[in-house]
Amino acid sequence: MFIHYSKYKINTIVNANQYDNIVKPQGLWFASDDTWLKYVEFELMNEYIPEFLDYDVKYKYKIKFQFTSVNNKNINKILLIKNNDDYNKLCIEYGFKNNHLLYLQYRFNNFLLTTFSDNFIDFLSIDWKKLSSDFGGIYFQNIYTYKINKKTIKLLNINYDKNINTLVPLQVENKIKYVKINVQDLVWSLSIDSGCVWNKNVIQSITEMKEDKLMKKIKLIRDKLKVKTDKVKTDKVKTDKVKTDKVKTDKVKTDKVKTDKVK
């Protein structure tokens, strides 16, 4: 069963256009069962990523569609990438060499922060415009098995460095765990087995479902973390005010001493 979680109620499905130089495609994203919420829970419990503190899921939809393979183009079906062979076929036909600043992650006060270095590196990108003219969407399955092979690297002329890795949460079978992956590959931006629909004609049916236990749990975790984060912010403001007041007081004392000397 494939599920789309949303902050907003869906009244109409529309087509999504694709643009140049975007890491992931535009459209309606989905994942198998509650995989996405398990990932959100993992992020909230382990990393306190700020963007998830504002994550609000109110609606749950079950969607149905049909799959096709990379060798059988069909604009009204979802392209299924089910293993590493499919992944490399996708990269060879629709991939291209891009470059960006080196992606890094580090921890600071229990927050996992993302930054970019001053060094540019080659990066595997997908031409989503070209892909969207052949398929109505895409679904990545078993992403932990993906790795661009030597043939793909050579054909796309990528300066590949196997040592440029980062530790990220990734779906491995049915669990979310930390995995070291190469940042030049597309996998680091996916996180979980997931897909995207950009052609509305792909969707055979979409059904709203009731709020489940995990949706409620995510809200509770998020609200507790927001309270904790707000307290940290409040304490910092108080500390900064004390420091500012002390600086002002010290300056007044210094100015008074200078005035007295003048007198």
**pLDDT by residue (tens digit) across 107-153?**
545 555 555 556 677 878 899 999 999 999 999 999 989 988 999 98
Question: What angle in degrees, to the nearest 10, is found between the helix axes of 35-46 and 213-262?
Answer: 30
Classify each residue of 58-86 as buried b or exposed e, where b means 16 or more C-beta atoms within 10 Å of its C-beta: eebbebebebbebeeeeeebbbbbbeeeb
pTM above threshold 0.75: yes
Q: What is the pLDDT of residue 108?
A: 47
**What string of DSSP letters covers 165-198?**
EEEEEEEETTEEEEEEEETTSSGGGT-SSEEEE-
Question: What pLDDT score does 154 carry?
Answer: 92
> Can you tell me the distance from the alpha carbon of 91 to that of 146, in angstroms, rounded to the nearest whole number?
11
Lookup result for tokens 């509650």? 34
Q: Name residues of the chain where pLDDT drops below 70.
A: 47-53, 100-119, 228-263
